[in-house]
Structures are given as structure tokens and as C-alpha cells.
Amino acid sequence: MIALVRVDNRLIHGQILVGWAPHLRAEAVVVADDEAAKSPLARAAMTLCLPPGLEASIQPLARVDFRTLAASRCAVLVLVRDVPDLERAREAGLDPSLCRRLNLGNVHYAPGRRQITPSVFLSEEELAQLRRLASAGFEVEARAVPLDEPLDLPEIERRFAAAGG
């Protein structure tokens, strides 16, 4: 089963290995990222630090078989680099029946983005993408680690508006 789809531009790192994977009881992490999939260095760096019992697969997003992952007996954590990749994942077969919850964990600051949480910054277009995903039936949340209180889409929108621009 797909336990969670998370946006985190760092992909596999400490919060994933120490926080999310144990919290979700994940036995596998799938990195759905074109750039990482074609970089032997990135693949090696991400897989070197895996604890025993946690498998990792790093694939181009279009090659991820979301239906097969959802049918897995073990919990799978799917990581994508950015918000546009969530829409690409939907186009590649991810739908709410396979995994309802989309988590925004880390989206770096860039010009045109507004701060939502200490680790999540969104642009107008990214917020529109999240609205489209929510309209399709996904539950969108923002939180860095499992112990954080999740922010739902209405709160994300409120913070976006309050951040001005």
C-alpha cells in the first residue's frame, strides 16, 4: 500500500529515515524523480544511509507503477521533488483510491513563493495545482515531521493569503 506521497526537494534524508519511515512502518521508499534516477551519485548517496529492512527504489516519475505500489503488502513511502511532480504523478496513474494523502514536507524558498511553514514555500501556480489535486479527491497537508500538527489546504490557503505578495 502507498502509505504517503510526500513532496520533499531533499528526497531521502534524515527526516525520512528517522521520522516518516518508522512512523508509517514503511518497508520501502520510492523516489519518483527524473533527475535522481539518472544520477549514479544521487542514487548512491540516497541508498547508502538506508537502515536494515528499508528498501529504496529511485525511478523516473513516469515509470513509477502506482497501482502496483498500492497493491503491495508492505507500506510504501513515495517521494517527489516538487509540487508540479504531484500533478505529473496523477497523470502517471496516481489517484486518491491508491493514496489519499499528499504531504508537503519541504519546498525551498524561491522568488515568487510565499512562506506557509518554516520549510514550505509556495507560488500561486503551486497553490492552484494543490487546489486541482484536492478537487480530484486528494487530501493535501503540510507538515515537516509526523509529530507536527498537519495544516490542511484551507489553512495553507489562509497562510498564503496572509503572506501577501
Distance CA 46, CA 77 (A): 14
Q: What is the pTM of this model?
A: 0.96
For the chain, the domains span 2-162
pLDDT digits (tens, 9 = 90+) for 137-159: 999 999 999 999 999 999 999 99
How high does pLDDT run on average in the chain? 96
Task: Calculate the dihedral angle through the C-alpha atoms of 43, 45, 47, 52, rounding to the nearest 10 degrees.
Answer: 180
Over residues 126-141, the mean pLDDT reads 98
CA-to-CA dists, residue 11 to 105, 128, 154, angstroms: 10, 23, 26
In whole angstroms, give the CA distance from residue 20 to residue 154. 24
Neighbour tally for 149: CB within 10 Å:
7
With a cut of 80, say whether residue 57 has pLDDT above it: yes
Stretch 110-116: mean pLDDT: 96
- Residue 116: the pLDDT is 98
Residue 32 pLDDT greater than 90, yes or no: yes
pLDDT in the model for residue 164: 86
Q: Which CATH number does 2-162 carry?
A: 3.40.35.10
136: number of CA atoms within 13 Å, CB side? 23
pLDDT > 90 fraction of the chain, expressed in percent and rounded: 91
pLDDT band of residue 165 (cuts 50, 70, 90) is low
